[in-house]
Amino acid sequence: MSIAISYHADADVSDWILYAAVSMSADVVMYSPTRCRHCDRARALLKRKGATVPQIFIDHRHVGGYDHTFRSFNSRKEMRYKLLGRSGLRVSELCLGAMTFGSPQWGTSEADAVPIYTRFRDAGGNFVDTANEIYGGGQSEEILGRIIAGHREEVVLASKYSLALPGGRNPNLAGNHRKSLRRSLESSLRRLGTDYLDVLWLHAWDGVTPADEIMRALDDVVREGKVQYVGVSNMPAWVAAQCNTLADAHGWTPFVGLQIEYSLIERTAEEELLPMARAMQMAICAWSPLASGILSGKYANPANHEKKRLDTLTLHALDERSQTIAALVGTIARKLGCSSAQVALNWLRAKQNVIPLIGARTLEQLEDNLRCLDFEVDAASVAELDALSASPLRYPHRYLAGVQPLLHAGFHAALDTHRR
């Protein structure tokens, strides 16, 4: 249901209609002669009445004023689902990252994690991602285990092994090898309060464990029923390809997913990792889709004093390039009447078989992220973002791009193929 209200007329009557409409989960379009005054009035009214307004969209094209669109939760598009790579496992098109759960510095307490998880589930999300004790000393898994107790079968639960903090006396505490896998997996299952994981990710390549040891050890835990599917994160494309080739040749369990850093600011995965994943029929889970919050626009506002990822954990440089990209994201967001985070997430959603991994620290952040499901960024804006954020090609891709006319005898532009 949608209701139109004109603030050109009696504002008091308009206030009453607005509150009634939002209470009925209707969409409300306010026609206002000023851009912000009536918008702020409406916000204040709803706050006093205890109503929740997830977002206001402003359309500058309305003749003679502005359109302020209050969209209810119930008007939101339904979450869709994807198959996880070459498996038959159905996962939601957004994955909830639980890295923030229990993190003492910039993370989320258990009391705040519960409504975040509940809202994600209410929105249709079923794919949840965590890791072993590298996430909050195991607090992330423990909190998540308590939250999902009672409905474990409804959730696609993923965790990771391979990383451990320095300072101990056990050199086998970390790594990709069989002993590290066993210790980490058993500890994760205990903390999560479950007897199996739906997905176990190899968190990062250690550079020393042979590919056949990795894949045979992973296949063993799948055959034992402790893991349903396996995936890999932060591994060179040639190693991941070698691992899956060995798995296919020996009848072992292959990687069905690839979890990588991928965003408008970090696009180097497009050179080798994404083409490899397509060839191997691996799903792509994109971690840090907002580049540690840079693409949310929060760093563009000096007056914003909320806790930020880069205050405690440096994963991205807040350099000129990243700020230029973030500025364009903000410009497009203002044009579309949405948030910068939604634009950045929808740029990823427009890519083939990519699942953004959202790591909201607050319920407000999650609500904003979920709004990306309501719309798609237009093709012209996507092309503008692609052009500005593109990474320069490196060898051999730079060379191969230059010799396409020779490789196809001049017919490269006329060749229709599904292999690119």
Q: How confident is the model at residue 48 (pLDDT cuts 50, 70, 90)?
A: low
Which phi-psi region, left, alpha or beta, contains residue 326 (left: φ > 0; alpha: ψ -120 to 50)?
A: alpha
42 pLDDT higher than 80 = no
State the average pLDDT over residues 384-397: 95
Beta bridge partners of 27: 2
Q: How confident is the model at residue 1 (pLDDT cuts 50, 70, 90)?
A: very low
Q: Of residues 40 and 58, which shows the higher confidence score?
A: 40
Question: Per 3-state DSSP, what percentage of the chain is helix, strand, and coil (rounded to 5)?
Answer: 45, 15, 40
Percent of the chain with pLDDT over 90: 73
302 pLDDT higher than 90 = no
Decide if 135 is catalytic: yes
Which pLDDT score is estimated for 73? 40
Task: Give the HSE-up count for residue 243: Cα atoms under 13 Å, Cβ half-sphere.
Answer: 33
Beta strands in 127-226 (DSSP E): 127-129, 156-161, 197-202
Residue 288 near residue 269, CB atoms below 8 Å: no
pLDDT single digits (tens) 117-130: 999 999 999 999 99
Chain-centre distance of CA 87, in angstroms? 20
291 pLDDT higher than 70 = yes
* Listed range (61-70, 105-114, 297-306) with the worst mean pLDDT: 61-70
Which pLDDT score is estimated for 22? 54
Which part of the chain is CATH 3.20.20.100? 81-388
Give the residue among 253, 231, 251, 290 at the shortest CA–CA distance from 94: 290
Query: What is the token pair recorded at 85?
Result: 């790579």
Residue 286 near residue 348, CB atoms below 8 Å: yes
54 pLDDT higher than 90 = no
Beta bridge partners of 66: 32
Q: Of residues 270 and 24, which shows the higher confidence score?
A: 270
Q: How confident is the model at residue 62 (pLDDT cuts 50, 70, 90)?
A: very low
**Which numeric CATH code is attached to 81-388?**
3.20.20.100
Q: Which residue's entry shows tokens 């990687």?
A: 255
State the average pLDDT over residues 45-53: 54
- The residue from 19, 135, 161, 299 that is catalytic is 135
Q: Of residues 63 and 210, which shows the higher confidence score?
A: 210
Residue 256 near residue 87, CB atoms below 8 Å: yes
pLDDT single digits (tens) 7-37: 444 455 555 555 555 555 555 555 444 444 5
303 pLDDT higher than 80 = no
* Listed range (41-45, 278-282, 322-326, 411-415) with the worst mean pLDDT: 41-45
Output the average pLDDT for the chain. Answer: 86
pTM for this model (two decimals): 0.80
224 pLDDT higher than 70 = yes
Q: 10-17 long-range CB contacts below 8 Å, 24 or more apart?
A: 11/38, 11/41, 15/41, 15/42, 15/45
Q: How far apart are the C-alpha atoms of 60 and 335, rounded to whole Å? A: 8
Which part of the chain is CATH 3.30.110.10? 2-75
Task: Give the HSE-up count for residue 48: Cα atoms under 13 Å, Cβ half-sphere.
Answer: 9
Q: How far apart are the C-alpha atoms of 12 and 121, rounded to whole Å? A: 37
Which pLDDT score is estimated for 308? 56
Q: How far apart are the C-alpha atoms of 290 and 56, rounded to whole Å? A: 21
Query: What is the token pair recorded at 314?
Result: 């440096």
Which pLDDT score is estimated for 106? 73
Amino acid at 250: H
* Listed range (188-197, 208-217, 290-299) with the worst mean pLDDT: 290-299
Which pLDDT score is estimated for 317? 78
Which pLDDT score is estimated for 237? 98
Residue 29: phi and psi, rounded to 5, are -110, 120
pLDDT single digits (tens) 226-258: 999 999 999 999 999 999 999 999 999 999 999
Domain 2-75, classified CATH 3.40.50.2000, yes or no: no
Which pLDDT score is estimated for 105? 75
Q: How confident is the model at residue 161 (pLDDT cuts 50, 70, 90)?
A: very high
